[in-house]
């Protein structure tokens, strides 16, 4: 099974609070990424996970 065929886990940890950059302080997703997670394709969800990793490293803010 390829990466795109697997169910992509939701990064939500149940603490929803957006900071001044519109990023959740817990899962590091933007408000729009949170709102649209349910309609994203697996490919889009994997792209969000990559952004989360980069945000956690401080490489990108949004």
On the CB side of 32, CA atoms within 13 Å amount to: 4
How far from the centroid of its chain's Cα atoms is residue 34's Cα?
7
| Angle (nearest 5°) at CA 21 between 16 and 26 | 30
26 in a domain, yes or no?
yes
As a whole number of angstroms, the distance between CA 61 and CA 28 comes to 9
The answer to whether the pTM exceeds 0.75 is yes
The parent domain of residue 43 ranges over 18-62
46 in a domain, yes or no?
yes
Q: Which residues of the chain have pLDDT under 50?
A: none
13 in a domain, yes or no?
no
55 in a domain, yes or no?
yes
Q: How many domains would you assign to the chain?
A: 1
**pLDDT value, residue 6:** 78
4 in a domain, yes or no?
no
């Amino acid at each position: 099974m390829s990466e795109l065929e697997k169910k992509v886990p939701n990064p939500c940890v149940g603490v929803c609070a957006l900071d001044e950059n519109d990023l959740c302080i817990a899962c590091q997703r933007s408000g729009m990424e949170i709102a649209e997670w349910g309609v994203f394709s697996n490919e889009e969800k994997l792209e969000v996970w990559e952004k989360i990793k980069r945000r956690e490293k401080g490489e990108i803010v949004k």
